[in-house]
Amino acid sequence: MLNYFYRPEDQRIFTGRQNELEQLDRHLLGEQPADLHLSGLRRIGKSMLIKEFMLRHADDQSILSVYINLEELSETPEDFVVKFIGWQLYWLYGKGETLPLPYLQLSSLIFQIQNQALRDALVPLVHELERLRPDRQMLLQEAFAFPALLAQVTGRRILLFLDEFQEIETLTNFNQAKNVLKLMRAAKDRAANVVWCICGSIISEMEAITRESQSPLFGQFSHLPLFPYLRAESSELIHKFIPDLDNRLVGLLHHYSAGSPFYLVQLLRRLNLFAGRGETVTENLVKRSFVAETLSPGGLIHAYCTYLYNISLQRAKGYGVLRAILDLIAINDDHMTQSDLARQLRMTQGAVRSNLKELEHIGLLHQRNRRYFYIDPILRYWVGYVQHGIEVPEFPGERDLSAIMTELDRKYQQAATELGESREEYVRGILRRFAGQRITGSLFGIADEILLPCFSKVIAYRSSDGRIEIDALCEGSETWAVEVKWKEKSAGRKELESFMGKSVGITTKNWYVAKRGFTVDARKYAASYGIMLSDADQLQEIVDILAAIR
């Protein structure tokens, strides 16, 4: 089932994402469905999550899932319209079990349609498309209205998955298509029994579409971010490839994959190839697999980094300078500031700043405490070698790699935060959804029920001298300071003390969120100072409740 769309070998290794699947169920299938924005970096597993969801509901006759990857269809508005409609018909009739080509060409499309009403609806569109200068506004309107027609004709709820949604912006380069998002919004407002799930890898562009007040799609979607694997999820996936691998090596693989399921799968495949050549899986072999996958031209991680590097820089202005900056950050063992970069590149601070902004915007770097980090530590490692002409054999022996292996731990450093949107930003997103809801105090580690204030402003605060940073400073009827710690250790008293030191006098309430909870000492301290505390599970419950109350 769905075999052309979701390869059986991928179906077999699908791992984790239980919570996200539940969220999809709740948002898309509930009585009062909500449109969703699924976000996450490239290769974090967004498309696979959608495919798994579709597979699990393939027999559900009350819905029709339609998957469209906009990366494959935004060439011209005319082409977009044919394919946008064609994919919907493919999912109705082809069901992911046949090849889609006949549905994606205007000449054959109409012959695929068995339903009279649908065919009648398409005739004017086909005529329009055959004209020398078709009316693009009309074409786009018809295309965006099509899901509602499909819902009406089939009597099913249409779940419209639009993958790599940010690519819709390419249409705005064409005359008569500049308002494409506005047309979409109008159709979306009118459509009955259609639920939208948009998905994208370029975080800054997706945020501009969903969160900026001048965007026609502002505030239209509930946000579901996809994060890297936790160790337990990596471990589950690892054991599907190597059933009896010991804990230490599991930890090492998790470390070298940076929590990315894609990197992990590639490392595991390479390890198994080595094992097939008679080698035993040891710490050294894990490291050699990492190096071979990343630095040898035959490695898929190598190929992916090449692709990611090129495609990201294509989006950006000022190719040469950006490359120079990325190089410097990759090869320097110390974390670099803007002034460090300006000095080494002999450029003005202003010029470096605007280039760094661009690199943040296209999702390659992020900044914390005025230092710049790669978001993806593996890409950093790749740039450090391959952009300097160093590559290794596909199946290196121990002796081939001695220099690279001694440098490995120094060169491969995980950035200060995990891959992807930072947890701090995630928590700020949650705080922005507070709007007078009543919620049990136990989720905040206190006895009384609390009334969540409605904040007018939620920001990452930094004092002008740069000495004080607060992950979220929230202003409104109350002022809250919020700190987020996403480490594998529980937070201790010292951390709470330093948090209180920063926020004293500014705020009415303090909330500390720590993934692994708090030590006994920290709890005592929090109780005497009235600090609210939540761990990862409690945070998730808060998110669930906010979603349910909406």
Give the interface with ligand ADP as residue ranges (CB under 6 A). Answer: 10, 13-17, 40, 42-48, 201, 237, 261-262, 265
Structure tokens at 29: 């299938």
| 420 touches, from ligand ADP, Mg ion, none (C-beta below 5 to 8 Å by class) | none
Give the C-alpha separation, 415 to 307, whole Å: 21
CB nearest ligand ADP: which residue? 45
450-451 and 438-439 beta bridge pairing: antiparallel
* CB contact set of 463 (below 8 Å; sequence gap of 6+): 469
261 class by beta-carbon count within 10 Å (0-12 exposed, 13-18 middle, 19+ buried) = buried
Question: Shortest distance, CB of residue 401 to ligand ADP, whole angstroms?
Answer: 26
Question: Shortest distance, CB of residue 264 to ligand ADP, whole angstroms?
Answer: 7
| 453 touches, from Mg ion, ligand ADP, none (C-beta below 5 to 8 Å by class) | none
If one asks whether residue 166 binds Mg ion (CB under 5 A), the answer comes out as: no
Query: Cβ closer to ligand ADP: 146 or 256?
Result: 256
CB nearest Mg ion: which residue? 47
Question: Shortest distance, CB of residue 77 to Mg ion, whole angstroms?
Answer: 23
Query: Cβ closer to Mg ion: 201 or 234?
Result: 201
Query: Cβ closer to Mg ion: 304 or 412?
Result: 304
Question: Shortest distance, CB of residue 223 to ligand ADP, whole angstroms?
Answer: 15
371-374 and 365-368 beta bridge pairing: antiparallel
Question: Shortest distance, CB of residue 478 to ligand ADP, whole angstroms?
Answer: 37
Query: Cβ closer to ligand ADP: 10 or 212?
Result: 10
How many residues form the binding site for Mg ion (CB under 5 A)?
1
| 294 touches, from Mg ion, ligand ADP, none (C-beta below 5 to 8 Å by class) | none
DSSP string, 101-134: GGGSSHHHHGGG---HHHHHHHHHHHHHHHSSS-
Question: Shortest distance, CB of residue 10 to ligand ADP, whole angstroms?
Answer: 6
Place of tokens 């975080």: 203
Give the C-alpha separation, 303 to 301, whole Å: 5
Find out whether 396 and 288 touch, Cβ atoms under 8 Å: yes
Give the C-alpha separation, 101 to 300, whole Å: 28
Q: What's the full length of the chain, in residues?
A: 550
Cα 47 off chain centre by? 10
| 254 touches, from ligand ADP, Mg ion, none (C-beta below 5 to 8 Å by class) | none
Give the C-alpha separation, 117 to 132, whole Å: 27
Question: Shortest distance, CB of residue 299 to ligand ADP, whole angstroms?
Answer: 15
Beta bridge partners of 439: 450
Rg (CA), the chain: 25
Question: Shortest distance, CB of residue 35 to ligand ADP, whole angstroms?
Answer: 19
Positions 28 through 47 that interact with Mg ion (CB under 5 A): 47
Query: Cβ closer to ligand ADP: 17 or 515?
Result: 17
Q: Which of 487, 503, 466, 501 is nearest to 535 (CA)?
A: 487
Mask for 66-105, x = binds Mg ion (CB under 5 A): ----------------------------------------
Residues that bind Mg ion (CB under 5 A): 47
